A and B are shown apart, each in its own frame.
Chain A
């Protein structure tokens, strides 16, 4: 028992034509047979019917004639019957009429014609039609007319040739035309499938590319989120450190000083109660206490300045930056001998900016100018602040020595040093972007773009401000 061989699958063809051809073949055969036979059979049937009608008419005619002859010549009628029948045959001109027989009412043939009309009898079976011979309304016999069907057969066979051809032609048409149409459709489907396959491949490539881009964007987003968490964490650390510094400063400076002042004031009170002779000591102790109070005030002012630019609250961002620039210009020797700083500052809107935004702008300008003063050896600095409804653009450009942005600062190990890192952190905490363009000998430009939105949902940017 051999294993059945699997039928080969033509993957390049969907087999519509073969499927249709298998089903059209029996229909084509049916059509060919029906078309080929229907007309010849119909012709044969109609011709047979016509032959029967003619035979019957001939029988009626002969019977009527013989009936008259029988009445006119009861004896001699039969001797003229040969001529009579020949005459009838000559006039009827029916080639299908082969025999005319007169039959007695008992069914016995009357031998009128020893040489019957039908030399063609042998050609085929006869079809018989009869008519009664009547004398005085009594049937005395019948005339039977035998007809051959040769004409019908020959005509039917003759028709079989063209109608057979017609049937075969129609069958061929019904078989091949749908097949060809289906072959064309099959080719189109195959082309469509090929195009679809190509499109699928392109789509897969596009999906892969989009997926790669999405993965990169997701990774970037994750990095930014990580950086944001890091910044938030660092901001909290900075805030905590700042609080500790303030506490330590208050404890170490203001606390100690106030304690000393309280002790001095207690001593002064005791000396004042002791009498006038202590006035000199009181005066000396009051002087030391005043000195301690002045030192404490100076210390508190220093801390306040360190904690936040109070000048922003006093004069606003634009004036603060202008004043900062003026102070830097003066400390560097003035515009004539040292650093010239040009400010191009747009006025703030009526409701101002958020404190965090103003503080960040101020600190960026402060840090940039500090870097200029420390490292750039620049002669000209341009500070520009531009405001749009949704964005704040800050730019500090100098013509100093410049630096290589890719080089890492020795102290921090990061590009640009700790000052630039602080600026970047402040800007990115507010959702902004900072770019430092510099090259050795080509000056430095710090560009900051900040959105005019608050960082936190409740608008409290205290942590950012503190940071």
Chain B
């Protein structure tokens, strides 16, 4: 009897359960919806507008960012492009102007081979300086490529590095991170150039695995990357144990305090490069329109002439074309 009474009481107490249970579910749903709404509002506030905040079209001519050509007098030549070309090109321009006081050649700071090609195409400069082959998109612009020098690409090291010669395999180990010290135990500091650098391309052309190793190092952020010849030469000069790709001509011409390594005992030189015993080299070229101006044409003739070729040889460059 008591059991029945107890059960009856509980059943009586449960009579309002469906209503209270529904209210509880509704409360939970309200809380969830409210939390989601608040979260959505906060996220929208945090992410903000995602539409592209600009348009495409013509830039107003009065804008400092407007693309414009420079007004160049006929006796002034503007040259710009790859940093690899700058030392020898400036030397050539200086020599060129010695007997031509009425002509002025301005060699701007590096804007890269790509910038040199584009600036030439945009008629911003008279001659572009490139240290690599033209890419298909650049070749399609209808510009004329005039190679004028070949420069050995060397693995330059800080003067404190005791090693004088390494094999290609050893250099690949260094760039792959498998070898971390020089012969005296000092740590190796690898300096990379940015992607697309002409020196890297010159080495990769001979040793394809170098490209893969370089790319892996880029992805892993393994080495410090410098984006100009100027930055590379400064870093090599002051960083103990540093090694990086550099142009032999720039080292010789500028008497830089760095040391080019021999490859398997072969030093970079015109003879070793020409014979193929030294494997790494790249060609420097002018790029210009089909019919360059008189001053530009005269400069090209000077470079291709005896004085220019002599100067290049004296500076560690190999004049092109070889069969002159």
Contact = CB atoms under 8 A, between A and B. Distances in A.
Interface of A: 9-12, 14-15, 19, 22-23, 26-27, 29-30, 33-34, 37, 41, 44-45, 48-49, 52, 70, 73-76, 78-80, 82-84, 86-87, 90-91, 93, 101-111, 114, 125-128, 130, 133, 135, 140-141, 144, 146, 149, 193, 196-197, 200
B50 A125 contact: yes
B6 A83 contact: no
Given A104-B63, A140-B64, A141-B63, A76 B124 contact: yes
A9 B8 CA distance: 8
B47 interface: yes
6 contacts: A82-B115, A83-B115, A84-B227, A127-B48, A130-B53, A133-B65
B64 A197 contact: no
Contact of A34 (B6, B21, B35): B35
A10 B11 CA distance: 10
A48 B43 CA distance: 9
B19 to A, nearest CB: 12
Interface in B201-234: 218, 221, 225, 227-228
Interface in B44-86: 46-50, 52-60, 63-70, 80
Given A30-B31, A83-B115, A110 B65 contact: yes
Given A30-B31, A82-B114, A75 B6 contact: no
A199 B36 CA distance: 56
B3 interface: yes
B54 A79 contact: no
Contacts of B24: 23, 26-27
B52 A102 contact: no
Given A70-B64, A200-B2, A14 B54 contact: no
A26 B64 contact: no
Contacts of B294: none
A193 B2 contact: yes
B115 A76 contact: yes
Contacts of B2: 193, 196-197, 200
B49 A19 contact: no
B49 to A, nearest CB: 7
A22 B7 contact: no
B42 interface: yes
Given A14-B10, A23-B24, A80-B112, A108 B3 contact: no
Contacts of A126: 50, 52
A23 to B, nearest CB: 6
Interface of B: 2-4, 6-8, 10-11, 14, 17, 20-21, 24-25, 27-28, 31-32, 35, 39, 42-43, 46-50, 52-60, 63-70, 80, 108-112, 114-116, 118-119, 124-125, 137, 194-195, 218, 221, 225, 227-228
Contacts of A27: 24, 28
Contacts of A86: 194-195, 227
Contact of B28 (A29, A141, A193): A29
Contacts of B4: 11
B35 A22 contact: no
A49 B46 CA distance: 7
A52 B46 CA distance: 9
B232 to A, nearest CB: 13
Nearest to A74: B64
Contacts of B42: 45
Contact of B17 (A22, A76, A104): A22
Contacts of B111: 76, 79-80, 83
B14 A19 contact: yes
A73 B108 contact: yes
B59 A75 contact: no
B65 A141 contact: yes
Nearest to B115: A79
A18 to B, nearest CB: 9
A11 B55 contact: no
Nearest to A106: B60
Contacts of B58: 108
Contacts of A22: 17, 21
A10 to B, nearest CB: 7
B47 A48 contact: yes
Most chain B C-beta atoms within 10 Å of own C-beta, residue among A29, A49, A75: A75
B7 A11 contact: yes
Given A30-B32, A109-B55, A127 B114 contact: no
A45 B54 contact: no
Nearest to B231: A87
The 9 closest A-B pairs by CB, nearest first: A79-B115, A87-B227, A26-B28, A80-B111, A125-B50, A79-B111, A103-B54, A140-B64, A109-B54
A424 B15 CA distance: 72
B70 A75 contact: yes
Contact of B63 (A49, A79, A105, A149): A105
A14 B6 CA distance: 8
A107 B10 contact: no
A86 B225 CA distance: 11
A144 B195 CA distance: 23
A19 B16 CA distance: 11
B17 A193 contact: no
B256 to A, nearest CB: 22
A108 B56 contact: yes
A75 B68 contact: yes
Contacts of A200: 2
Given A22-B17, A79-B118, 15 more contacts: A10-B7, A73-B108, A73-B109, A76-B80, A76-B109, A103-B54, A106-B63, A110-B59, A111-B56, A125-B50, A126-B50, A128-B50, A128-B52, A140-B63, A144-B54
